[in-house]
Chains A and B, each alone.
Chain A
Amino acid sequence: DAGVIQSPRHEVTEMGQEVTLRCKPISGHNSLFWYRQTMMRGLELLIYFNNNVPIDDSGMPEDRFSAKMPNASFSTLKIQPSEPRDSAVYFCASSLDWSPNYGYTFGSGTRLTVV
């Protein structure tokens, strides 16, 4: 199993540009989570999906952020327009299902820098 795959690993973009982060969860995992990690705020849950359906997006900071999961093997997190304060490491994680008996498997993250 290749694990959770995120792309790109690094992204540098100019303020105002659109950014799209991608995630491929582990095959057979039904829950997918997007987290953001910064020095100031630590790990924040942005949104999570169960069976491709967004369950709770209350962690999405602003309307500039959107996420989709068109099928069980792919999810995107989009920021439009991007701002310097969006600079962070964005992690995608998947889990077997919604039960808390299972932990997450994290991807390696996308380090986003907005200049």
Chain B
Amino acid sequence: AQSVTQLGSHVSVSEGALVLLRCNYSSSVPPYLFWYVQYPNQGLQLLLKYTSAATLVKGINGFEAEFKKSETSFHLTKPSAHMSDAAEYFCAVARGGNKLTFGTGTQLKVEL
């Protein structure tokens, strides 16, 4: 069964530093993978998606993620953190068509 594991429920970075949020997937078939962001009191917003085209996927707000089959990973990165990036980030995998299974989320804190 397809699932994702997010390592680290809380990540703290300084403004301007690299953001790295980790996601590993478990899938018996080539997966469709997604990253979503949730700001306080809002719904989830799609950041980017991997649908077996390019392994390096660029998303909104300067985020990108690289699909690494050998490591079963789909980590989310951003070269330089901004205060506005503070939010909760969810990795997700599609199973059985368009049903998404979400990870437990990583809360990103950006400090001055």
Contacts and interface: CB of A to CB of B under 8 A. Distances in A.
A75 interface: no
A105 interface: yes
A95 B43 CA distance: 14
Given A100-B32, A100-B51, A103-B34, A42 B98 contact: no
A98 B45 contact: no
A31 B101 CA distance: 16
Interface in B2-51: 32, 34, 36, 41-46, 49, 51
B43 A45 contact: no
B90 A43 contact: yes
B104 interface: yes
A109 B43 contact: yes
Contact of A104 (B41, B46, B96, B105): B46
Contacts, number: 54
B87 interface: no
B98 A99 contact: yes
Given A42-B105, A43-B90, A104 B44 contact: yes
B90 A100 contact: no
Interface string A46-83: 00100000001000000000000000000000000000
B3 to A, nearest CB: 12
A31 B45 contact: no
Nearest to A106: B43
B99 A105 contact: no
Given A100-B32, A103-B34, A45 B100 contact: yes
Given A91-B43, A107-B43, A101 B51 contact: yes
A102 B43 contact: no
